[in-house]
Each structure stands twice: as structure tokens, then as C-alpha cells.
Structure 1
Amino acid sequence: MKLLLIADIHANLEALQAVLKVPHDRAICLGDIVDYGPDPDRCIDLLQKKDIPTIRGNHDNAVAFKVDCQCGYKYKHLSVATREYTWEILDRSRIEYLQRLPLLIKEEIDGKKLYLTHASPRSIYEYIKPETPDEEIQSMIDGAAEPVEVEFLAVGHSHIPMNRKLGSLTIINPGSVGQPRDGDTRAGCAVFDTETREMEFLRLEYDIDAVCKKIEERMPYAEELMAILRWGY
């Protein structure tokens, strides 16, 4: 099976539409549908229309329950400002959709066991990055609410693609669909072939100008939000 992994859409409809065109048998979203972008409602609707299992990210959680997103200092003011916009856009049914999203998904596909969550197995706020020390990741795994007794751990949250080993565990981050922060402005995703165990990381062009136009017309802090999309960090 070709499993499409997507994460950190952040209300960027054009980027989401681009990654969903990648050939796949099934897709799973690792969270953060909302905040920062102009189309939170349409992104939620598309995921529901496609019946894509989705995990609740820290921004989804903040919008759904009106709590702190606990994101990094550099972007926090943008998150807070765009959340007011997001609440204006989303109706009650879409808020309830975010509230119902699970914090993790466990799957076994073609004999491969996967643990999928937004940030770390211990918290929706912790970052697992390419430079995170092994012992720090291990402590996150040891502190998980449910045992991480799998071969593959898939996370998002950092917006940075990653494929690394920790003992017998492979940790995957497909990167960000709607807000890459690794200097590459293209939408990010990954396709995991569960039969061959091969992982392909993809970057796809999309209409950034169209997204920026909507941000400029509708949203606060438009210049900063557009700069992130145009620079990729």
C-alpha cells in the first residue's frame, strides 16, 4: 500500500489540493489543519470529503478548546492573531470536528506497525527534530500514554522533513503541507510504501500567489504571513 502522510496544512487550501494529487492508496493527516492560513473551513471540508483520518494537532486543539497552542515564540503572535480570524470562519460543526479528532492513531498495514501522532508520543507540544538527541526522544517515547511498540513512528509539528532511526524504530516527519520552514517553499508530503518499506519525500509546486492574495485581503499580520510562505521559514 502507498500511504500518503501529510501534516501541518495550516489552512492552505492550494497546498493541500496539490499534495492530494500525489498517487496513493490511502492518506493520513498528522494534524494542524488550521491557523496561519486563509481557508480553515475549506481544508476541513476537503479532509472530510476525502474521508482522511486526521490527528488533532496543537493548533487544532487551541482552536477547538480555546486554549494556548504553546507554539514557538517566533510565530506565536501570528497564531494568536489568526485564531480570531479562524473562529470567525469556522461554524459550530467544524469546531466540533476539531474537538473529536484523536491524539494518535495506531495502524498495522502489510504487517508493519505504525504509531501516528502530531508531535511526540508524550505531548502534542514537544518537537522531534532532526537534531533532537536520541536520549530526549527516548524519554518522550518512555513517557507516552500508550506504549510505542511499533516499527514506525510518524509525527509532524516541526514542519521539517525527517527520516531517522532510533534503534529499531524509524521516525518519519513528512514536512509541512502549508507552511514549510526548511527554506523550500513547496508543499511537503511523504509516501510510505508499506510493502517495500521505502519512504519517498516529495515537494510540490502550488499557487502561492493565490494564497497570498487571500491572506492580504482577509487576514491580520498579512505581510509576515506572506513572507513565511514566500521564504519557506
Structure 2
Amino acid sequence: MRILLISDIHGNKEALDAVLEVPHDMVICLGDLADYGPSPSECIDLIMQQGIETILGNHDAAVGSGIDCGCGYKYKHLSEATRDYTWKNTTEEQMAFLRQLPFSIEKEADGLKLYFTHGSPRSNYEYIRPETPEEELEEMLSGIDADVVFIGHSHVPFVRTHGDMLIVNPGSTGQPRDEDWHASCAVFDTSSRETELIRLDYDMDSTCRKIEDRMPNADELTAILKRGY
């Protein structure tokens, strides 16, 4: 089974459309549908209409429940600046959908135990990064019975091992922060146990025009998309 992993869409409908064209048998979204981008309503609607299983991200919780996003200092002001725009452009039904998203999903396929969450198994505000020390990973993953753990949140794609466990981050679909502007996703093949990290072109010009026409802090938001960080 080919599982398409998408994450951190952040209201970028053009990028979301691009990654969903990747051949797959199942899609799992690791959270953060809204904030930063110009099309939160359209992104949430597409996820709902296609019945894509989705994890609660920290921005989903902030939009749906009005709590602090817990963002890092570098980007928090943009999250707060775009929150009013996001609220004005999402319906109560869409916010209710965000509020009911689960913290984690567990599945079994081809003899593998799979665990999906947004940040870490301890918190959807906590980052697992490529360089996270092994001793910190041990604490974050304590008590998790899984062969593969899928996480998002950092906007940086990577694959690494921790003991017998594989950790996969598909990167950010809608707002990459690894100095590559292309939409990011991953495909995990449960049969071969191989992961493919994928980068795709999308109509960034259209996304940027929408930001410029509709949103506060437009110059900063479009510059981040174009730089890839």
C-alpha cells in the first residue's frame, strides 16, 4: 500500500492540489490546514470532501479553539497577523471540523505498526528534527509501540531511524522552510518499507497574487514562499 503523507498545508490550495496528484492508495494529513495562506476555507473543504484522515496540528487547534499556536518566535507574529483573516474566511462548520481532529492515528499494514501525529507523540507543539539528539528522541517516543512514526510540524522533510523505529517527516506541502520552495510530500510503501520524499512544482504565482490581494503582511508572506524559509 502506498500511503501519501501531506502536512502543514497552511491555506495553500495550489500546493495541496499538486501533491494530491501523486499516485497513492491512501492519504494521511499530519495537520496544520490553515494560517499563513490565502485559501484556508478551500483547503479544509477539499480535505473534508475527500474524507482525508487528518491529525490536529497546533494551528488547527489555534484556529478552531482560539488557543495559542505555540509557534516559534520567527513566525509567530505572522500566525497572529493572519489569524483574523483565517477566521473571517472559515465557516463554523469548518472550525468545528478542526476542533474534532484527533491527536494521533494508529494503523497496521503489511505487518507494520504505523503511528501518525503532528509534532511528537508527547505534544503537537514539540519538534522532532533531523538533528534531534537520540536521548531526546527516546523521551519523546517513550511508550510508543510502532515500527514507523510519521510527523510534521517542522516544515523540513527527512527520514531517520531511532533503534528499530523509522521516523518520517514529509515536510510542508504549503510552506516549506528548508530553502526549497517546491511543495513537499512523501510516499511510504508498506510492502517495500521504502520512503520517497517528493518535491513538486505548483502555481506559486497564483498563491502569491491571492496573498497580495487579500492578506496582511503580504510582502513577508510571499517572500517566505519564494525563498522556501
Give the structure 1 partner of residue 113 of structure 2. Answer: 113
1:214 matched to 2:193? The reply is no
Give the structure 1 partner of residue 150 of structure 2. Answer: 154
Deviation at 1:54, TM superposition (A): 0.2
Listed as ranges, the matches of 1:1-233 within 5 Å are 1-142=1-142, 147-233=143-229
Cα deviation 1:57-82 (Å, max 9, x = unaligned): 00000011101001110000000011
Taking the aligned partners of 1:18 and 1:49, their CA distance within structure 2 comes to 17
Tell me the SS of whatever aligns to 2:54.
coil
Q: How many residues align?
A: 229
Identical pairs, percent = 58
Deviation at 1:137, TM superposition (A): 1.2
Cα deviation 1:120-150 (Å, max 9, x = unaligned): 00001010000110111111122xxxx3101
Tell me the SS of whatever aligns to 1:213.
helix
Taking the aligned partners of 1:205 and 1:67, their CA distance within structure 2 comes to 34
Deviation at 1:91, TM superposition (A): 0.8
TM-score when normalising by structure 1: 0.97
Taking the aligned partners of 2:111 and 2:39, their CA distance within structure 1 comes to 37
Cα deviation 1:147-199 (Å, max 9, x = unaligned): 31010000000000010000001000000000000011000000011001011
Tell me the SS of whatever aligns to 1:9.
coil
Taking the aligned partners of 1:51 and 1:112, their CA distance within structure 2 comes to 23
Tell me the SS of whatever aligns to 1:202.
strand
Cα deviation 1:4-29 (Å, max 9, x = unaligned): 00000000000000000000011000
Question: How large is the Cα RMSD of the aligned pairs?
Answer: 0.6
Taking the aligned partners of 1:163 and 1:141, their CA distance within structure 2 comes to 16
| Higher alpha-carbon deviation: 34-43 or 132-141 | 132-141
Gaps of 5+ in 2: none
Tell me the SS of whatever aligns to 1:136.
helix
Taking the aligned partners of 1:211 and 1:193, their CA distance within structure 2 comes to 31
Cα deviation 1:17-45 (Å, max 9, x = unaligned): 00000000110000000000000000011
Cα deviation 1:47-103 (Å, max 9, x = unaligned): 111111000100000011101001110000000011110000011100000001001
Gaps of 5+ in 1: none
Taking the aligned partners of 1:192 and 1:171, their CA distance within structure 2 comes to 11
TM-score when normalising by structure 2: 0.99
Tell me the SS of whatever aligns to 2:122.
coil
